[in-house]
Amino acid sequence: MEKVARYGKFVAQDGRGAELAELLLGAANALEGVAGCELYLVNRQADASDTIWVTELWRSQADLDDALKQVAGSPEAAAAMRLVQSAEMIELDLLGGAGLASSGSSAA
């Protein structure tokens, strides 16, 4: 099973970055203990307070897909998306690193 790593970049409407960050932090709390979610970090870009980055690591694509199905159409997801001016998901090829168990990591 191959892990899934990705970054999400969300640019909030002017002045709404803190509000968006709070909603995404709520999503992170909701993912505590969810099967397959190994990492979900919410970060604010230091020089752009309305730009929020999410770093995700999932055990598998199936686990990510299951989690996305659970939140699709939820009031929380809708509230967050109303604040978003633009969004981009950056899919990554996970190579390894400190803190990552060696099983499941792969090198290109």
Q: How many domains does the chain have?
A: 1
Residue at 70 is within a domain: yes
Let me know how long the chain is: 108
For 13, the domain range is 4-92
> 3-state SS of 64-108?
HHHHHHHHCCCHHHHHHHHHEEEEEEEEECCCCCCCCCCCCCCCC
Residue 102 placed within a domain: no
Q: What is the pLDDT of residue 108?
A: 44
Whether 28 maps to a domain, the answer reads yes
pLDDT digits (tens, 9 = 90+) for 5-21: 999 999 999 999 999 99
Q: What is the spatial distance between Cα 5 and Cα 3, in angstroms, rounded to a whole number?
A: 7
Q: Determine, yes or no, domain membership for 108.
A: no
Residue 51 forms part of a structural domain: yes
Specify the pLDDT at position 1. 64
State which residues of the chain have pLDDT below 70: 1, 102-108
> According to the model, what pLDDT value does residue 105 have?
46
Residue 69 in any domain: the answer is yes
Identify the pLDDT of residue 50.
98
First-to-last alpha carbon distance for the chain, in angstroms, is 16
**CATH, residue 57:** 3.30.70.100
